[in-house]
A and B are shown apart, each in its own frame.
Chain A
Amino acid sequence: MPRHKLIASESDVSIEVDEGKDNEFSLYYVEVEENSKGGKEKQATRDGKRRRARNGEVSRRRASEKRTTNMANKRAEKKHEKHHKTTRKEGERHRKRQRRRIADEEEAEEESSKEKKNIKNERTKTLKLEDEKEKDVKKKRKKHVKNQEDDANPGKTKQKDCQDVPLKEKKKKRKKPETTSESESQSESQSESNSDSEAKDNQAVGVLGSLTPEELEKLKEAVDERKKLITTIKGKPWPMKKKLVILRESQEFVEKYEGALGKGKGRKLYAYKVLMMKKWMKFERDLENFKTACIPWEMKIKEIESHFGSSVASYFIFLRWMYGINMILFGLTFGLVMVPEALMGKPYGSMPRKTVPREEEASAMNFAVLWDFGGYAKYSVLFYGYYNNQRAIGWLKFRMPLSYFLVGVGTVAYSYMVVIRTMARNANEEGGGDDTSFNFSWKTFTSWDYLIGNPETADNKFASITTSFKEAIVEEQESRKDDNIHLTRFLRVLANFLVLCCLAGSGYLIYFVVRRSQKFALEGLENYGWWERNEVNMVMSLLGMFCPMLFDVISTLENYHPRIALQWQLGRIFALFLGNLYTFIIALMDAIQLKRAEEEIVKKNMTIWQANLYNGTVPDNSTAPPITVHPADVPRGPCWETMVGQVLGKSSSEFVRLIISDTMTTYITLLIGDFIRAVLVRFLNNCWCWDLEYGFPSYSEFDVSGNVLGLIFNQGMIWMGAFYAPCLPALNLLRLHVSMYLQCWAVMCCNVPQERVFKASGSNNFYMAMLLVILFLSTLPAIYTIVSFPPSFDCGPFSGKNRMFDVIQETLETDFPAWFGKVFSYASNPGLVLPFLLLLVLAIYYLQSTSKTYKRVNMELKKKLQTQNEENKKKNKLAALKAANELEQARKAGEQRSNSASDLGVNEESSSLDEAGHHRQAGQNGRLIHPSQSQHAQSSEPPVSSTHTTTRPPASRSHTASGHLPGTDGHALWLHCQKNGSQRGAGKCHGLLCPV
């Protein structure tokens, strides 16, 4: 703390608080106020020398009596010794007398730990004695007569005694800064401030002793209020200087009285509590800081946001969100499936399913094979087939198959939960912000992004704000003129019809191609050329390329608002992709059927092979352990589960490759494009048929919606395949990580944001809805395969079982007590399950209907509010007019009255005028707000208005304004108004204007 400030505040703290600013506290604080006022007067009259003298004497006396005084006091003593030899002599004379008086005290003193406190008492007594004696030697020191009178005159009652204490403290406080500034010693000031706070406590106790319980209550309230103020001070709209001053005052106030409120043990406890509170606050602060520091890519995204605005950033935020989900999925599969298997399962090469077969051994380490998840990658923990069906593994007896199954179910369940929860939260947020009644004012006041610190972005932002204003203006004008609605309706229907035709056509095309490819596959692909082999892929990608363009063309027919048009467009592309996905799934199912047929054959061959093996090699010794064939040589089934995982993994890694190549091509084309643009646009633009800068070879846009769709579909693949390939979440994590950096880089380097308006906040739920649909659609086939196909006989954790979910049954039977299995079987009885389902349906129905009702009520309330607002507007207009008239009348009446009143008696006149003056003043201050004055009111008063949102009574403003009248009578009036009942009171003051 700055020292000169301390001086000023310490002497004035309580006085300032009491007298003016905070009226709330003055009521509870009268007594102290009196004291401090007295002290102030005295201080004004007392000169510094005198004060120093007393201080020196006190400290000297204490030193000689106690012999335990600290260095600071000694130093002070030395300093003052020269000045006050006379006073010392006097003090010595009196010391004896005084000693006798306080002998008892001294004894206690020496032992007790509260030394300082006692010193304080003692000191006050010595001071008193000194004063008395001073009275005796008054004539010698004529200078100090007045002061001595002040000190000595008060009665010697107990009450007065405690009042005297603060006086002394006040004096001491005044002195302290001076001495410190003289000595410039840190330790001294500290020791003094210690004793100072002790003194304060003492003083507080003294004051408290004389308070009634009610006053104590009030004081407590005041302390609480101050505490609240301290915690909320950062939210107050005051200038920092004022905040600092008030903060310090409140802290001192709280310190002074809070400590005194609890006595003895409570005080210590309280101090401990305060300390812990502070620590806890600090901890919370740090935790918050840590949390924000932990959010990955925050700065990157913010940077992008500040360059390209929120729509591009929304893509990256979505990406990050997906990353988070995949992180958790990865944690589940990695921690509960892959790591236990790798650590505790049988090692690689111990059994056929964990070994690369002979025929593949040669190429198993080739990069191309590994890249397609073949070779060693296929026979590792990454895929379903590697896992053993051993019920419990390792010394932990980890139930591997059960864990595998539960993790598979858990990942899907978790994904559902997260998506739905996010959707619900988004819906909540949107509920607040979809109000379009403030379109223009929001655009005016909130469209500038204060974060922008880049000149180019600022230019972009200016441009986009301008266009948005123009759009809004056009929209506004259009909504007024309301063009041919039938035509637009017809066009929209037509457009939808066309799109449906497109979708149906492409669906049929895909179906046709897939059927053809199946035929080819049956006949053997070797007989056909490149086109026949890749027909399905080619057709699908061609459709994926051209259909969106077609949709775009069609959507121009519809004449929607760009944002809505974009949503339609996205929905249509989504439908197309779904067709894509489902043909893929159908093809996969077919492949599964094929593999299963193959598996049957292998199974048969297997038994033959085994029989041959035993017959051929060990004919005579049948009891010997089975001979060891190298596991790589054992024939095995095709393991369709691994195949599914492989295919999905491949298609997922296809996305990675796609993204990398996409980014590279964008960048290269942009480099070239930029160069060509620089050359061509410069020289050819004048003689070209279209504008090159805004026409075809312009910068490539960052396609937010397309990228989001890609992300969503890829996630669908992951969900579908996660059960059969535990590595897929990890793979996806890698992919997202890479694409995050690559795309960030690409965006910052070369892409320009999409021109289309796409509001991030509004579209989030659209993305989420698509994600939910994809999640549902991708878990369907996975569930179907789990439920309806028996697992492969020689690979995976469920081999040998009839169905995969049998693992639950098995666990229930073997690992749980019998009664549990019984209970479970009862619970799974249809007689119980059906009612339960019914109950669920009922609950859903009930909740849905209640939410509908709430919505309706909400709408009604909104309407009501709107109508009320409009009414208020009208009413206020009328009131303003009326009030103006009234004011005019009142002024005239007042003038007449004062003229006529001059004839009447003096008393009457003055009182009535006084009254009139009051009311007029109130009225004027309520109504016409002087700039400076009202500003003061606004800046210094906590915003009363913030609690009222829309339906504010018109009186409230006049109340706030009248709160701060210059001068004391205005102040009193305000207090009066406040007592009368806040706003109403002010309203009355306002209304009283007319009769006068």
Chain B
Amino acid sequence: MGNKQTIFTDEQLDAYQDCTFFTRKEILRLHGRYHELAPHLVPMDYTNDPDVKIPLALIVNMPELKENPFRDRIVESFSEDGHGNLSFNDFVDMFSVLSEMAPRELKAIYAFKIYDFNVDNYICKEDLEKTLNKLTKEELTPEEVNLVCEKAIEEADLDGDNKLSFADFENMISRAPDFLSTFHIRI
């Protein structure tokens, strides 16, 4: 309290530590990163919880997200309004879910949101096509994309509605050997 750098109060930091997988230092560093993104917008004093949001365009330019083909979707699915404007809370939330410590179930929920491009709570063929095109930079022919989508749905769809519900998705992703190791961002 005595020293000057009171970005957060102790209670705030404790609350953040309880709500995320971060330590105190990491939260402060995250705030630093967030502040860096828009130094004019973001105040250094967060003790009275200012209502500041950073637009998507600024956030996807972070080096951690820049190369990610799903960067827009990531930011969108973590923003409260769904349009990619992130408040600091959302920002912390995002990196908490994507941190190494987050459990598989939590990651699966957000992975589902990210891959659900049209936000209809199902991953349908359209979403899969978009995912594939982003993954391969549209280097597969339409027939190939089609084949892959059909195969993927055939593999993972348990209830036969030709689209993946969250249950299907979770069932599939919970057995994927690489999911945990690849679905995280180091910040």
Question: What is A's interface to B at a CB cutoff of 8 Å?
Answer: 1-5, 230, 233-237, 239-241, 243-244, 247-248, 285, 289, 302, 310, 429, 432-433, 435, 437-455, 457-458, 462, 465-466, 469-470, 472-473, 476, 761, 869, 872-874, 876-877, 880, 929, 931, 934-935, 938, 943, 945-946, 948-950, 952, 954, 956-957
Contacts and interface: CB of A to CB of B under 8 A. Distances in A.
The secondary structure that dominates the A interface is helix
Interface string B147-159: 1100110011111
B170 A946 contact: yes
Contacts of A943: 105, 109, 166, 170
B119 interface: yes
A440 B145 CA distance: 11
Across chains A and B, which 10 residue pairs bring their CB atoms closest together, nearest first? A433-B177, A240-B89, A458-B67, A2-B49, A876-B159, A877-B160, A440-B151, A240-B93, A441-B152, A873-B160
A438 B155 contact: yes
Contact of B159 (A234, A237, A873): A873
A458 B71 CA distance: 13
16 contacts: A1-B11, A233-B19, A234-B96, A235-B103, A237-B110, A239-B90, A241-B87, A243-B19, A247-B15, A439-B155, A445-B169, A448-B182, A453-B66, A466-B140, A943-B105, A952-B158
A448 B136 CA distance: 10
Contact of B67 (A454, A469, A956): A454
B109 A237 contact: yes
Contacts of A445: 111, 115, 131, 169, 172-173, 176, 179
A453 B184 CA distance: 12
Contacts of A470: 140, 144
A429 B119 CA distance: 34
A647 to B, nearest CB: 43
Contacts of B121: 929, 931, 934-935, 938
A722 to B, nearest CB: 35
Given A438-B175, A473-B148, A931 B120 contact: yes
Contacts, number: 208
Contacts of A453: 63-64, 66-67
A440 B167 contact: no
Given A469-B140, A943-B109, A957-B165, A433 B160 contact: no
A466 B64 CA distance: 22
Contacts of B64: 453
Contacts of A248: 15
B49 A240 contact: no
Contacts of A929: 121
Given A435-B175, A454-B67, A943-B109, A234 B151 contact: no
B15 A451 contact: no
Contacts of B42: none
Contacts of A452: 67-68
B136 A233 contact: no
B185 interface: yes
A457 B105 CA distance: 28
A237 B106 contact: yes
B15 A938 contact: no
Given A5-B49, A946-B105, 13 more contacts: A2-B47, A2-B48, A441-B156, A441-B172, A443-B152, A444-B132, A444-B152, A445-B176, A465-B135, A472-B148, A869-B158, A877-B159, A957-B165
Contact of A244 (B15, B179, B184): B15
Contact of B68 (A435, A448, A877, A956): A448
Contacts of B185: 450-451
Contact of B186 (A443, A444, A451, A873): A451
B135 A444 contact: yes
B98 interface: yes
Nearest to A4: B48
B80 to A, nearest CB: 6
Most buried by A among B111, B170, B176: B176
Contact of A761 (B96, B157, B158, B177): B177
A237 B113 CA distance: 11
B177 to A, nearest CB: 3
Contact of B19 (A5, A247, A440, A446): A247
A289 B105 CA distance: 23
A451 B159 CA distance: 33
B173 to A, nearest CB: 6
Nearest to B50: A2
B176 A473 contact: no
A240 B19 contact: yes
Most buried by A among B93, B140, B177: B177
A446 B179 CA distance: 5
Nearest to B22: A234
B119 A442 contact: no
B184 A451 contact: yes
A142 B110 CA distance: 58
Nearest to B182: A449
A880 B158 CA distance: 13
Given A237-B106, A285-B23, A438-B155, A1 B12 contact: yes
Most buried by A among B109, B144, B158, B183: B158
Contacts of B182: 446-451
Nearest to B49: A2
A874 B161 CA distance: 10
B136 A466 contact: yes
Contact of A945 (B20, B139, B166): B166
A874 to B, nearest CB: 7
B133 to A, nearest CB: 11
Contacts of A876: 158-161
A246 to B, nearest CB: 9
Interface string B83-102: 00001011011001010001
A448 B158 contact: no
A929 B167 CA distance: 15
Contacts of A450: 68, 98, 182-185
B106 A235 contact: yes
Given A2-B49, A239-B90, A243-B19, A447 B175 contact: no
B136 A234 contact: no
Nearest to A240: B89
Nearest to A1: B11
B144 A473 contact: yes
B74 to A, nearest CB: 8
B142 to A, nearest CB: 13
A238 to B, nearest CB: 9
A233 B14 CA distance: 13
Most buried by A among B21, B64, B68, B102: B68
Contacts of A241: 80, 87, 89
B171 interface: yes
A887 to B, nearest CB: 16
Contacts of A442: 172, 176-179
A935 B119 contact: yes
Contact of B136 (A244, A449, A462, A957): A462
A447 to B, nearest CB: 7
B184 A945 contact: no
Contact of A469 (B92, B109, B136): B136
Contacts of A310: 181
A473 B161 CA distance: 24
B167 A945 contact: yes
A239 B93 contact: yes
A902 B165 CA distance: 42
Contacts of A235: 102-103, 105-106
B171 A950 contact: yes
B144 to A, nearest CB: 6
Given A444-B135, A476-B151, A438 B68 contact: no
Contacts of A469: 132, 135-136, 140, 144, 148
B178 A872 contact: no
B174 interface: yes
Contacts of B49: 2, 5
Contacts of B98: 450
B167 A952 contact: yes
